[in-house]
């Protein structure tokens, strides 16, 4: 799976939330000032070349839809983050989050419950 730029990732989030959409649908969801149609269209075509989206044509209108799920992309990015910054250790990531007050006791208890369900 190829890496996305920040702009490509932003557009993918819109596509994931809309599921099936046109470029105009994506632009409608964006905050003002809204970018030009041609800019978003270019990014969507790049996403298609990278294998993240596909389209169905209705005359001159293209309806885009995701091929890669948000979950699959998220998993790849989190795995990469853990490898690059935490020596491949998820527990080091959790320790980092706890040490920097980014995780509450309730969140940790929920994680423990989820881990117990898996075993």
What is residue 57's predicted lDDT score, i.e. its pLDDT? 97
10 Å Cβ neighbour count for 47?
A: 23
Handedness of CA 66, 68, 70, 71 (dihedral sign): positive
pTM of the model: 0.83
- Write out 9-43 in H/E/C secondary structure: HHHHHHHHHHCCECHHHHHHHCCCCCCCHHHHHHH
Q: Which residues contact 51 (CB under 8 A, 6 or more apart)?
A: 1, 2, 67, 68
Which pLDDT score, from 0 to 100, does residue 56 have?
98
For the chain (length 119 residues), average pLDDT per consecutive 10?
A: 93 98 98 96 98 97 97 94 93 88 87 85
* Residues recorded for the chain: 119
């Amino acid at each position: 799976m190829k890496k996305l730029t920040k702009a490509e990732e932003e557009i993918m989030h819109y596509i994931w939330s809309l599921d099936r959409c046109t470029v105009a649908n994506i632009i409608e969801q964006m905050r003002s000032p809204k970018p030009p149609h041609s800019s978003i269209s270019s990014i969507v075509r790049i996403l298609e070349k990278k294998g993240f989206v596909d389209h169905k044509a209705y005359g001159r209108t293209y309806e885009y839809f995701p091929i890669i799920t948000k979950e699959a992309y998220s998993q790849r990015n989190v795995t990469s983050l853990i490898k690059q910054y935490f020596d491949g250790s998820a527990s080091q990531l959790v320790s980092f989050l706890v040490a920097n007050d980014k995780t509450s006791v309730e969140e940790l208890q929920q994680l423990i419950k989820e881990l117990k369900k898996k075993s």
